[in-house]
Amino acid sequence: MVRDALGVGVAVGLSGFAFGVTSAGGGLGIWQTCALSLLVFTGASQFALVGALAAGGNPLTAAAGAFFLGVRNAFYGLRLSQLLALPRAIRPFAAHWVIDETTAVTLAQPGRRSARLGFAVTGLSLYLLWNLTTWLGAAGAEALGDTAAWGLDAAGPAVFLALLAPMLRTATERAVAALAVVLGLGLLPVLPTGVPVLAAALAAPAVLLLKGAGPRKSVRGDKDKRDRQAEQAAREQREAGEKEDR
């Protein structure tokens, strides 16, 4: 667990630095960059926001793209609230730390006590590290001068690609990604800056819809419903078994 925690720490520290550099290179001030890491504290959304602002996007369109990337945290919170069973008064404070990394560490813990400890320790240490390295990156970027000459404008898309790669497990995810690339690039010249990314988000429901209307159509109905219920039951059983194993 210590090695995992160290690995997570190094990755987060590095992306914090990359974020600080990218944000400052994109024209945000050092205070604005630090405010983002302090108040938003969810990496992909922050990168998306500064990228959209640097491209000259409308602030609300830019914020919308960042917001949609942050929606996944609600689903992390759902898993965590069952596991941590936090008192209602604590939840508004714990919420700020509900991100990819804290969820991964917390879900890997064997019981409620260690889950709470894992969440608190990961949350606090990553929060400190993320904000420290953001500041270092933003301050460093000012010292570097022209960030493009150093190739730092490639850090943002590389971070996105690294986040995306492990998600491309099945044909569905790959189809969504491919359609999103086509929409995002194809609409870029015709729609206002920032809007094409939001339009590309439609690739997700579009592919789900096409899949639903595809070869599975013939098995729709009661049988399909029963299958799904059986699947759900099997999954719940497996998960329960896993919990006992731990």
Partner 1 sequence: MNIWIAIAVTAAGCYLVKLAGLLVPAGVLERPLVQRLAALLPVALLAALTAQQTFAAGQSLTLDARVAGVAAAGVALLCRAPFLLVVAAAVLVTAGVRALGG
Interactions with partner 1, residue window 207-226 (CB under 8 A): 207-208
Among 1, 4, 6, 71, binds partner 1 (CB under 8 A): 71
Distance, CA of 160 to CA of 12 (rounded, Å) = 14
* Spatial CB neighbours of 151, under 8 Å, sequence gap ≥ 6: none
Among 16, 20, 28, 83, binds partner 1 (CB under 8 A): 28
Among 40, 107, 136, 144, binds partner 1 (CB under 8 A): 40
Task: Indicate the residue among 115 and 180 with the shorter CB distance to partner 1.
Answer: 180
Smallest distance from the beta carbon of 161 to partner 1, in angstroms?
5
* Spatial CB neighbours of 126, under 8 Å, sequence gap ≥ 6: 8, 9, 12, 97, 99, 101, 102
Distance, CA of 57 to CA of 51 (rounded, Å) = 9
Q: Which of 150, 122, 108 lies closest to 21 in space, CA to CA?
A: 150
Q: Is 228 an interacting residue with respect to partner 1 (CB under 8 A)?
A: yes
* Spatial CB neighbours of 30, under 8 Å, sequence gap ≥ 6: 24, 135, 138, 139, 142
Candidates 68-76, 106-114, 121-129, 132-140; binding stretch for partner 1 (CB under 8 A):
68-76
Q: Is 195 an interacting residue with respect to partner 1 (CB under 8 A)?
A: no
Q: Is 193 an interacting residue with respect to partner 1 (CB under 8 A)?
A: yes
Q: Is 5 an interacting residue with respect to partner 1 (CB under 8 A)?
A: no
For 201, the token pair is: 């988000």
Q: Which of residues 131-190 bind partner 1 (CB under 8 A)?
A: 148-165, 167-168, 172-173, 176-181, 183-185, 188-189
Smallest distance from the beta carbon of 65 to partner 1, in angstroms?
7
Whose tokens are 């639903």? That residue is 212
